[in-house]
């Protein structure tokens, strides 16, 4: 079900349609879905380019049926003034005329009996507006908010889920190496495409050896003996 008036303002709050498939984030997606079921404010945090927005879109697609009044998307990357966040949120849910009320009163009265998921994307530029988000949640019992930000909002009731960048280390070669002229003829075919975001988080958690811990390792003994022989 769509939220708001059935006119061109609906396009402002629609969840963007991704151009690529969602691969390799099943673990984070499952964690985010469980957390969203038990909290009303979930913030996906991580550095730029870690996939927070893409994860939020995939999460919205998975839980859309649970929100009878729809999912609304408010992009905030272009908003630099925190005082403009309420107007951006109002536009995303299809509200423009406050009719003499404050935007907070106008939105809370509109969302009072509606079950909506509101996505606030790129909130790191307007962190002081977190107080408005907390007030909006406090006045709307059925509203749930999903935030993507490089930093948490630090407001009451917030649940944070860190999103780590994908690891591309130890990826296999996309194409086989060219055979030497002396090699016997062989059939070389293009391998199946590999996921762009392999589920290699377990490898990412493995600590890398430091120079200080390398004094007694085999590699360091080999290097020192090689230097003595040379």
Residue 170 maps to a domain = no
In a domain, 187, yes or no: no
Query: What pLDDT digit, counting tens, does each position of 97-145 carry?
Result: 767 788 899 999 999 889 999 999 999 999 999 999 999 999 998 999 9
Total number of domains in the chain: 1
pTM for the whole thing? 0.69
pLDDT averaged over every residue in the chain: 77
Confidence (pLDDT) at 223: 42
59 belongs to a structural domain? yes
Q: With bands split at pLDDT 50, 70 and 90, how would you rate the model's confidence at 193?
A: low
Give residue 102's domain range. Answer: 25-162
pLDDT band per the 50, 70, 90 thresholds, residue 18? confident
pLDDT score recorded for residue 202: 37
- Distance between CA atoms of residues 213 and 217, nearest Å: 8
Which tops the pLDDT comparison, 102 or 203? Answer: 102
Give me the CATH number covering residue 112: 3.40.50.300
């Amino acid at each position: 079900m769509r939220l708001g008036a059935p006119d061109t303002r609906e396009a402002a709050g629609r969840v963007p349609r991704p151009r690529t498939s969602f691969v390799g984030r099943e673990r984070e997606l499952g964690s985010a879905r469980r957390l969203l079921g038990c909290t009303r404010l979930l913030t996906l945090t991580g550095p730029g380019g870690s996939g927070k927005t893409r994860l939020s879109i995939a999460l919205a697609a998975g839980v859309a049926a649970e929100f009878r009044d729809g999912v609304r998307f408010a992009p905030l990357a272009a908003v630099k003034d925190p005082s403009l966040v309420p107007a951006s949120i109002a536009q995303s849910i299809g509200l423009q005329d406050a009719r003499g009320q404050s935007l907070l009163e106008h939105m809370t009265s509109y969302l009072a009996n509606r079950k909506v998921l509101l996505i606030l994307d790129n909130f790191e530029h307007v962190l002081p507006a977190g107080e408005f988000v907390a007030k909006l949640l406090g006045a709307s019992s059925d509203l749930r908010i999903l935030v993507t930000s490089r930093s948490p909002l630090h407001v009451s009731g917030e649940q944070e889920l860190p999103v780590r960048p994908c690891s591309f280390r130890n990826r296999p070669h996309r194409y086989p190496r060219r055979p030497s002229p002396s090699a016997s003829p062989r059939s070389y075919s293009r391998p199946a495409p590999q996921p762009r975001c392999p589920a290699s988080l377990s490898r990412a958690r493995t600590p890398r050896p430091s120079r200080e811990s390398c004094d007694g390792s085999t590699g360091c003994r080999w290097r020192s003996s090689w230097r003595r022989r040379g």
